[in-house]
């Protein structure tokens, strides 16, 4: 079956290294907590708030061996007044035997405030 794994993190500055490092940490946590391998991943959709534009967050995936064939997509998050700034989100679509309630969603840094009920 196919499941979506959600996650988010934040950075303090709109700089390439900060975005890649934060995205890498988010991906590693998501992969580890859900025991994901690249052959199980159908795709990963990244969004960032409009105050971030120094790099595509998908660039972080290039640092992972064996992930070159995973389809990646980056887009802007809807600009809602009062929403959490400097935020990077992921939706990883995976093939898994895990039930919906077994999937571990990962929220790091200030993004924990988005879904404290799901934060790991």
What positions carry a catalytic annotation? 6, 62, 74, 77, 89, 107, 115
DSSP state at residue 48: E
Distance of alpha carbon 33 from alpha carbon 94, whole angstroms:
13
Short-list 82, 63, 80, 81, CA closest to 72: 63
Q: How many CA atoms does the CB half-sphere of 93 hold within 13 Å?
A: 11
Tell whether the torsion through CA atoms of 20, 26, 30 and 33 is positive or negative.
positive
Distance of alpha carbon 74 from alpha carbon 58, whole angstroms:
7
């Amino acid at each position: 079956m196919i499941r979506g794994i959600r996650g988010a993190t934040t950075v303090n500055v709109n700089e390439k290294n900060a975005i890649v490092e934060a995205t890498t940490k988010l991906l590693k946590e998501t992969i580890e907590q859900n025991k994901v391998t690249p052959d199980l991943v159908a795709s990963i959709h990244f969004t960032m708030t409009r105050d971030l534009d120094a790099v595509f967050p998908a660039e972080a995936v290039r640092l992972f061996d064996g992930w070159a064939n995973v389809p990646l997509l980056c887009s802007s998050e809807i600009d809602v007044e009062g929403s959490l700034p400097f935020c990077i989100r992921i939706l990883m679509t995976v093939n898994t035997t895990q039930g919906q309630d077994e999937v571990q969603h990962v929220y790091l840094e200030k993004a924990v405030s988005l879904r404290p009920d799901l934060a790991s």
